[in-house]
Amino acid sequence: MPMTARDRRTLIIGGVILGVLIVGYLLLNVVLGGGDDTGGTALPPIVTGSPSQPTDTPTQAPTSGSPVVNFTGRDPFSIPGALAVVTSPPTSVPTSPGATTSTPTSPGATTSTPTSPPPTQPGGGSSITIGGHTVVLLDTFTSGGKEIAQVEVDGKVYSVSEGEKFAQGQFKLVSISGDCATFLFGDEQFTLCATSPK
């Protein structure tokens, strides 16, 4: 049966009303956040300054009987310590000619003053700048009965075993002992230890 002008007009008016209702719903609930306070949790405030200062953030007791999950290790969504605000002057410790390592200046913050600006490095003895290259020991593990070290050189990650050369043959993994690995760069030998929890 063909649609009459009256039916067409009714469909158009109904469509406009439905569109206005959808836009109003989206405006109230998505854009303005709605009026329901039970739907989400508030984010903690961002604190600038030294991480060693205590904060006055109140703790809230859980209101439901659900178990609280406690993860250990680094939160992948947290701001890395290297990006935190540094409140004291940077320091560096030379380990060999032409190389400097990062030294923590305050809890969670590290700085480095090598001759050329490398990418941000983690501290705690897990990184070194040597020969203009930033080397970071990410992890050590066993795979197929072989000790493997996961190493980052200038932002590129390599998985190498003992005696293997990497980074265009400029570096060589000499040995792995627990969470630490010894490397060669030319004639210079250095040891790094992974700081990530296992």
Q: Which of 82, 84, 105, 83 lies closest to 93, judged by CA?
A: 105
Q: Do residues 114 and 60 touch, judged by C-beta distance below 8 A?
A: no
**For range 49-65, the mean pLDDT:** 56
- The per-residue pLDDT for 174 is 92
Q: Does 178 have pLDDT greater than 50?
A: yes
- The per-residue pLDDT for 57 is 56
- The per-residue pLDDT for 48 is 64
- Least confident window among 20-34, 118-132, 134-148: 118-132
| pLDDT tens, residue by residue, 89-133 | 445 444 544 554 444 544 544 444 444 444 455 555 678 888 888
Dig out the tokens for 53 from the structure.
């200062």
Q: Count each helix (H run) and each strand (E run) in the chain, helices first.
A: 1, 11
| Predicted model pTM | 0.38
Q: Residue 158, exposed/middle/buried by CB under 10 A (0-12, 13-18, 19+)?
A: middle
Q: Do residues 175 and 81 touch, judged by C-beta distance below 8 A?
A: no
Provide the 3-class DSSP secondary structure of residue 40: coil
Provide the 3-class DSSP secondary structure of residue 18: helix
